Each structure stands twice: as structure tokens, then as C-alpha cells.
Structure 1
Amino acid sequence: MTSPTASSRSPRRPGRAGRNHSLLTAAAVITGLGSNGALVAGAFAVLEAGGDGGDIGLVAAARTLPLVLFLLIGGAVADRLPRHRVMVAANVLNCLSQAAFAALVLAGEPRLWHMMLLAALGGTGQAFFGPAAEGMLMSSVEGENAGRAFAVFRMAMQGAALGGAALGGAMVAAIGPGWVLAADAAAFALAGALRAFLDVGHIPPRAPGGGLLADLRDGWKEFAGRPWLWGIVVQFSVANAVVAAADAVYGPLVARDHLGGAGPWGLALGAFGAGTVAGALLMTRWKPRRLLLAGTLCVFPLALPSAALAVPVPVGVLFAVMFFAGATVEVFGVSWMTALHQEIPEHKLSRVSAYDWFGSVALVPLATAVAGPTEEAFGRTAALWGCSGLVVLVTAAVLCVPDVRNLRRTTTPVARGGTARTSADAERPLGGLG
């Protein structure tokens, strides 16, 4: 998207944006490979230290809690300070915490509270990194090809996640979890070094504000004043929570009892990851005119994996369902990023992204905690159908928001100067691409 002042800033703007996009994509691939491998390594490190599934859950919760607590602050900080410095500082924290985790594992028998503390430090780093990274990515591209740039970035990121999980599992089996955690620490160091070279010269200096609390209130006004924005965040608060419960709790149990164990379930999750790569590839070419309508319609298939587990379907059918769900939900992911880039003022991108992240993860710990009691009360099949039904219900509900149905793709700068749009504005065609 071309800014009104683009011609007065610098003719090098497109080149600078391309360089930033390349650096961000390369760094995301590096950390994606390391972090997804570290997820596998961390679980096996807990088990090798004598822990059980409950201890793995405690370590995961220790990472999630500070992520939820500090996300909004992280978004305000990222809009106040140069975003690339926030990203590098977060990478340094993640590097040090993973290096310490690796050292404890390699030294032998780390204690549970050690692992929980280090996981909490990693979650804190992610809370500051995520909003800064999303704001930096969206400010690094302009023009009608912004959606394609986001699709390329997400395709690389999803591919790294898929490859990282597979590579991490193989490396844990070959050399042990400690060395995989050490490799993740090195990945954070390398990615942080790349991000230090990001060019922020195109970002206007931040105007002096009234402090962190004022920034948080300003971000809330931006978020709450856009029905399409908070409506979809509420939708995914529920959808992400029930999908997490199905994937983390019910899926492994169904796989154990009906599908042949952990191997087929791991391949099913891999099929979902492959689907996200395919969906991102599709979005490098497809530019739906009604961004959020097309994206939200593509969320309905996210209900299919839970339904397939409830039946349960044969393994081959489950693979196909997971692939299709991954591909369609990635259509939403690219459309969502494009809408945020188009509609949110640049100097508020990280704060709005923080509310988006907060909504996405806030209910996940609760959903996974109550998944077991829900199964005991209603049965696994009913619980899985409930997960599927909730995805359909909240997705249908958000389509009742006029802004979601009517917001159009545009090649003109809708809100880069900081003017919020009204619901009536969103309902009018903004011009755009077929």
C-alpha cells in the first residue's frame, strides 16, 4: 500500500521493504526450525528427568502464563521503542534461557522447578517479541502485493515449523534432548543477529506519549472501536481453545485407542502443517476482494478434525481432513494479516497485535485443563463433537458482523496516517482487486 508521503520519504522505500522482508523471513525460518524442535526436546527432557505427562503440562503452563500476562505490555513497548531492538532483546532472553535449559539437561537430572522457571523466561521473551515482530513485518511491506508478501512469510514459517518438529524428533532420538535445546539457543542467537540489521528508517518517529498506561488505553480504544477486529479475536479465543484441547488431549487418546498409536497421530499433525504450507502457497496468487468474508468462510473446516476424531475415521481420511483444515485456515491467516496491515495505523500495529495474540492464547490453558473433566462428565465422543460445534457456532456468529462481511481489499492507504475507520466506512466498497 502506498503511503501519502511515500514519494517525499525516499525512492529507496521498495528496496528497503524487500530487504526487511527477506531478513524477517530468514530469521523466522531459523527460529521456527529451532523452536519447534525444542518443543519435542523439552517434553523428552522432562520425561528423561523422571517426570510424567502432568509435569510436561506444568512446564508448558509455566511458559504460557507469562506469555498471557505480558503480551499487552509487550505490544505497548513495541510501539514505543524501535521494534527491531525489542525483537533482538527478546531473542537474547530466549537464547540465554534455552542455553541454560540445555546446560541443565546435559549436566543431568534437571529439577522440575528449574525447567518451569526457564520456560517462564522463554514465554516472557515471546510476549515482547510477538507483537514487535508482527508490527515490524506489517510495516515492512506496502502496495497491492502486501498480501503476497505475508503469504510468502507464512509459507516459510509454516514450512519451518513442520520441518523443525520432524528434525527435532530425529535429533532427540539420535543425540538427546540437551543438544537439541542447545541448537535452539544458537538459532535464537543467529536470528537475533539478523534482526539487528533491520532498517527502521522508513518508520516515522514516535510522538511523545503519556506513558505506558496511556499507550495501553489507546491500544484498547483502537481494538474495541473496530467490530470486525474484536469480533474475530473473540471467535478465535474460543476456536483456538477447543482446537488445542482436541489436539493436545483428545487426539492422542483417540490415536492410542483407534488409530495405531503416536506414529499415525504425529503424521496427522504433520498433514495439518503441510496443509498450512499449501494454503499459504495458494494465497501468493489469490487475492480475495472481501478479505475477511473469504477468510472467515475458510475457518469452518477447522471443525472437521474434531469431528473426524469423534467418529473416528480411518487414518487415511484423517490425514486428508487435517491437510484440508490446515490449508483453509491458512487462507484466513493471510487474509487477517492483510486486513490488519490495511486498516490499522502503523504506530499502533504492535498494540493491536498484542490484543490479537492475547485473545488467541488466553483461553487455551483453561480449555486444556478442563478437557479431562469434560471427557469424564460427557464422554470423549461428545466432547469432540462439542469442540467441532463450538468452532462452527463462533464462526457463524462472527459472520453476523457487517464489517466482517463487507470489508474490502484496497490499494490505497486506509489508515496509515492514524485515522480510525467507522463501521459505515467498512461497509462501503473501498475499491480493490478481484
Structure 2
Amino acid sequence: MPGRFWLFFGARTVSMLGNAFGPIALAFGVLALPGTTPATLGVVLAAQGIPQLALLLFGGVIGDRFPRYRVLVVAELVSCLAYAALAAMLLSGWAPLPVLCAAAFVAGAASALLLPSLTGTVKELVPADNLQRANGQLRLGTNSARVSGLLAAGATVAWLGPGVALAVDAATYLVAAGLLSLLRLPGAVRTERRNLVGDLQVGWHEVSTRRWLLATVAAAGVINAASAAGLGVLGPVFARDRLGGAFAWSMVLGGYAVGMLAGVVVAIRFKPRRPLQAALLFLPALALPLIALGTSAALPLVVLSAVCAGIATDIFGVLWDTLMQTEVPAEALSRVSSYEYLIALSLKPAGAVFAGYVAAGLGPAAGLLLFGGLILFATAGALVAPAVRNHTPRPLGVQQ
């Protein structure tokens, strides 16, 4: 791999370490403030999540207009400032809710700026025939950082406090920005200059004319919503009531993380003739933990099912990223990625809210089976779509 790829690898790994610190430190930090309630935390998290979705398309336009590595540098620096401000408020004890929300809003906006440029930057860094290996190595680094970051974040919050943990988070973004600034990649060549609406229209055209892409991302939206409802809401409830509590649930999440690491190792070497169809065939495994929980399986079986889901997640992710980089023109890749993220993530909040009503009406076990069934249904729907079923991949050595 080129030396610049390893700079990018280091930046993403360090940044993901910070991402693992952020949610834990922010949640415990806000809840520890005088007079706060779970509703207060919900408001702060909403202030972070809303701009992340609302500004994604704008982030895609920026990523296609300017050198992507510079966009990433700016996004990391903005994240650094936002989390440094949150750390300062928690450490000082002066943390008015509007100011907390403002800092969280900036952090969410930085994420919207960063995400659409990631896939395109990888395409600029490595030769086409090394894209799958590069995507796998990146996920290996970021997954390892996520696991170690979660462990370190919990210890830091417990021993030093959430303010210190958020300060560490801010520092990781600063380090990542420094590494990214050394890439010195050229900017994308733009043959036409359009206004924001025109750029968005071109991006949507690139998405809508690739029916295989649209069908897969639509299925991902349903799968992400069902996973958010099952693993994010109903799973912890079921673990508390039936599996023994937080320790049992941590074993399930740990199994998922181990599976993701194993999935990357498999994905680096897996060279299917039709990668889109192969990637989708792994997605039913995401329903396994929900089905295992819903049928009151023993904890070891639930953990094993989570391992399988983690393996499937990263095999799909590596194959999908490589397909996007090969099939989508470089000059539109950030805009296409922004539509991809927007569609794939837009139903997650609704899924989490809906899970509460399902739990009240059907019970956690039946709800888990329902959401597991939704994952299977969405995957089958994508696989039988003619555009997906008949998709023939572009050779890895041929890029648009």
C-alpha cells in the first residue's frame, strides 16, 4: 500500500478511538450535571443527531467540490473544537443546556461533513485492484480502535470523570487532523460548476440511475431501523429481564465486536464473482441475534449469533465500499455517499421510537422476532429486485 494510505489508516484509527469515547463520556457527563434527567440527555443527543442527518447532502456537495482530504481535516478540527467545548463545560461545572446543545450540534455537523468524503478518499489513495484489501485493512483498524476505545472510555469515565474522557476525545480528533493534513492529495476535476441544488440533482441522478444501489440502500434503511430497535432498545430490556443484566448484554455486544474483526479478515481474501449479490447474502445473519433473543435461547447461543452478525456486517461493508468505489464516478462519489448515508440512516430514530410501542404492545420477545423478520424481509426484497439480481460488476481494475 502507498505510504499515504497508512497516514489515512492512522488518522481513521485514531479518530475512531475518539468516536468510541464520545457517546459514553457525553451520556454520563450530562447525567451527572445538577438537575439533569434522561430527558435532558435526549435533548442533547437530538441536537447532535439532527444536523448529522440534515446536513449530509451538503457534506456530499462539499466533498465533491473541494479536495476531500482537506474536507476531512476541517471536519476533524471542528469535531475537536466541539468536544473540547463539551469537556470544558463538564470540567468547569458550567453547562447550560442551550450551550451543551450548541456544542453537540457542531459535533453532529462535523460528522455530516466527514462521512461522505471517506469512501472517495480511499479511492484516491490506492490503485483499483487494491481497493478491497484497503477497505478491509481500514475496517480492521477502526474496529480494533472501537473495541479498545469502548474499554478505555469506561475506565476513564469511572476513574477520571467524563470531562477528562471528552478531553481525550477532542485530542484524538486533533491528532487525526494532523495526519490527514499530510496527505496532499489533488482535488477532484470538475468540468462544470453548479449551484447547490444543481449539484444535489446530479448526485441524485447518479443514485437513481443505478437501481441496484437504490434497492440495496433502501433495504439497508429498513435493516438499520430494525437493528436499532432490536439491539438498541429491546435487546437491553430483554437482557435485563431474562439474561441477567448488563454483564450478559456486554457479552453479546462483545461477541458482535469480535465477529466484526473476524469478518474483516475474511473480507480481505473473499473475491466473489458477483460481489453485490454475495454481500447481500450475508445480511440475513444480522437477524440471528434478534431471533436468538426472541426465542429465549441460552446466552452462549445468543453470543454466537452476535459473532455471526458481526462477521456478516463487515464482509458486507468491505464488499459494498469496494463496489461503490469501482462503480460510481470519482467526481460524484461524495454526493452519492451522502445520499447513501441519508437513506440508510434516516429510519433509525423511527425504529428506536417504534420499538418502545412494540415492547408495550407485544412484549420484548415478540418484538425482537418481529424486527428480526423485518431484516430477513428487507434482504430478500433487495435480492429479488431485478437490478440487483442481474447486476454485473465492473472489473476492479476499471474505474469511472
Q: TM-score, normalised by structure 1?
A: 0.88
What is the Cα deviation at residue 267 of structure 1?
2.3
What is the Cα deviation at residue 402 of structure 1?
3.0
Measured in 1, the distance between the counterparts of 2:273 and 2:42 equals 42
What is the Cα deviation at residue 39 of structure 1?
1.2
What is the Cα deviation at residue 380 of structure 1?
1.8
SS in 1 for 2:143: helix
Whether 1:57 and 2:42 are equivalent positions in the alignment is yes
Equivalent residue, structure 2, for 1:13: none
Q: Deviations over 1:372-420 (max 9, x none)?
A: 122212222221111001000010000012332343455455551xxxx
Q: What amino acid is aligned across from residue 321 of structure 1 in structure 2? A: S
2:198 to 200, 214, 222: 214
Q: What amino acid is aligned across from residue 189 of structure 2 in structure 1? A: P
After superposing the two structures, state which structure 1 stretch, 209-218 or 402-411, moved more: 402-411
Whether 1:188 and 2:173 are equivalent positions in the alignment is yes
Equivalent pair of 2:128/2:326 in contact (CA under 8 Å): no
Whether 1:393 and 2:360 are equivalent positions in the alignment is no
Equivalent pair of 2:128/2:398 in contact (CA under 8 Å): no
Whether 1:115 and 2:100 are equivalent positions in the alignment is yes
1:246 to 218, 227, 230: 230
Measured in 2, the distance between the counterparts of 1:61 and 1:242 equals 19
After superposing the two structures, state which structure 1 stretch, 81-90 or 349-358, moved more: 81-90
Equivalent pair of 1:43/1:56 in contact (CA under 8 Å): yes
Equivalent residue, structure 2, for 1:158: 143
Whether 1:343 and 2:327 are equivalent positions in the alignment is yes
Measured in 2, the distance between the counterparts of 1:55 and 1:389 equals 34
After superposing the two structures, state which structure 1 stretch, 251-260 or 233-242, moved more: 251-260
Equivalent residue, structure 2, for 1:80: 65
Measured in 2, the distance between the counterparts of 1:281 and 1:178 equals 36
After superposing the two structures, state which structure 1 stretch, 343-352 or 397-406, moved more: 397-406
Equivalent residue, structure 2, for 1:26: 10
Equivalent residue, structure 2, for 1:45: 29
Q: Deviations over 1:330-349 (max 9, x none)?
A: 11111101110110001111
* Pair 1:391–1:156, CA change in 2 (3 A): same
Q: After TM superposition, which residue ranges in structure 1, 4 or more long, deviate above 4 angstroms?
A: 412-415
SS in 1 for 2:384: coil
* Pair 1:56–1:69, CA change in 2 (3 A): same
SS in 1 for 2:60: helix
Q: What amino acid is aligned across from residue 140 of structure 2 in structure 1? A: M
Measured in 2, the distance between the counterparts of 1:300 and 1:357 equals 20
Q: Provide structure 1 residue ranges, at least 5 long, that are not aligned to the other structure.
A: 1-16, 417-434
What is the Cα deviation at residue 204 of structure 1?
4.7
Equivalent residue, structure 2, for 1:137: 122
Equivalent pair of 1:288/1:409 in contact (CA under 8 Å): no
Q: What amino acid is aligned across from residue 352 of structure 2 in structure 1? A: T
Equivalent pair of 1:61/1:365 in contact (CA under 8 Å): no
What is the Cα deviation at residue 103 of structure 1?
0.5
Q: What amino acid is aligned across from residue 173 of structure 1 in structure 2? A: A
Equivalent residue, structure 2, for 1:98: 83
* Pair 1:245–1:133, CA change in 2 (3 A): same
SS in 2 for 1:298: helix
Q: Provide structure 2 residue ranges, at least 5 long, that are not aligned to the other structure.
A: none
Measured in 2, the distance between the counterparts of 1:85 and 1:242 equals 35
What is the Cα deviation at residue 326 of structure 1?
0.5
SS in 2 for 1:191: helix
Equivalent pair of 1:139/1:341 in contact (CA under 8 Å): no
Equivalent pair of 2:68/2:121 in contact (CA under 8 Å): yes
Q: Deviations over 1:214-259 (max 9, x none)?
A: 1100000000001110101100111001101112211111111111
Whether 1:323 and 2:345 are equivalent positions in the alignment is no
Equivalent residue, structure 2, for 1:373: 357
After superposing the two structures, state which structure 1 stretch, 144-153 or 398-407, moved more: 398-407
SS in 1 for 2:271: coil
Q: TM-score, normalised by structure 2?
A: 0.96
Equivalent pair of 1:291/1:335 in contact (CA under 8 Å): yes
Aligned residues: CA RMSD: 1.6
Equivalent pair of 1:64/1:365 in contact (CA under 8 Å): no
Measured in 1, the distance between the counterparts of 2:255 and 2:330 equals 35
